[in-house]
Amino acid sequence: MATSYAFLLFCNLTIFAFLASIITGSLAVTADSELVEQICNQTTPYYKFCKDALNSDPRTSGADGAKLAYVAFSLANRNASSTRDQITSLQSNSTGPVHLHLEQCRLDYATAIVKTTLALTDLDWETYGRLSYFASMTRDQAKDCELAFKGTKSPLTDNNNNLYGLSVICVVLAKWLNV
């Protein structure tokens, strides 16, 4: 009798532990995707862009604010680097004003790469005070490159829009980390 009682108690505890782990697990998942929702909600008109961008990275799943910021600044950094390479090859095949506009953009993207790299270093050190500055500086570079081609067709409009959108996500996350 005593053994079977102990056995039943054991079973109950096992089931309880099992159910508890399911419940806390699902709560954690809900809370995390809610954070993405909450962050992207503040990026209008980039809401869908924000969700697509963050969810394109496997590190987003289960990420807290600092990890999400890491994802966002990495995406911006990678985007800026690949655009810089694109600019270099466009420049090799251009002359006159277009070449000059591209030179402006090359400097803008070099600055964006520096700022996002510094932001990632700060995130490594868990210091968040300069993130808003780095994020808005990066956003300004995208705008500056777009303005460099004012009145003429820019070959970099899509790139600028992508970097601008990614920077907006960084701005919101930087603010979130500094409240």
Binding positions for ligand NAG, rule: CB under 6 A: 34, 37-38, 41, 53, 75, 78-79, 82, 93, 162
Structure tokens at 7: 């056995």
Distance CA 177, CA 144 (A): 27
Q: Which is nearer to ligand NAG, 78 or 175 (CB)?
A: 78
Asked if residues 138 and 112 have their Cβ atoms less than 8 Å apart, the reply is yes
Tell me how far, at minimum, the Cβ of 115 lies from ligand NAG, in Å: 16
Asked if residues 106 and 87 have their Cβ atoms less than 8 Å apart, the reply is yes
DSSP 57: S
Q: Which is nearer to ligand NAG, 2 or 63 (CB)?
A: 63
- CA 102 to chain CA centroid, Å, is 26
Tell me which amino acid residue 114 is. Answer: V
Asked if residues 87 and 102 have their Cβ atoms less than 8 Å apart, the reply is yes
Q: Which is nearer to ligand NAG, 47 or 133 (CB)?
A: 47
Tell me how far, at minimum, the Cβ of 163 lies from ligand NAG, in Å: 7
Tell me how far, at minimum, the Cβ of 33 lies from ligand NAG, in Å: 9
Tell me how far, at minimum, the Cβ of 134 lies from ligand NAG, in Å: 18
Q: Which is nearer to ligand NAG, 1 or 45 (CB)?
A: 45
CA triplet 77, 41, 38: central angle to 5 degrees?
Answer: 90
Tell me how far, at minimum, the Cβ of 156 lies from ligand NAG, in Å: 12
Structure tokens at 162: 């992508």
Q: Which is nearer to ligand NAG, 3 or 93 (CB)?
A: 93
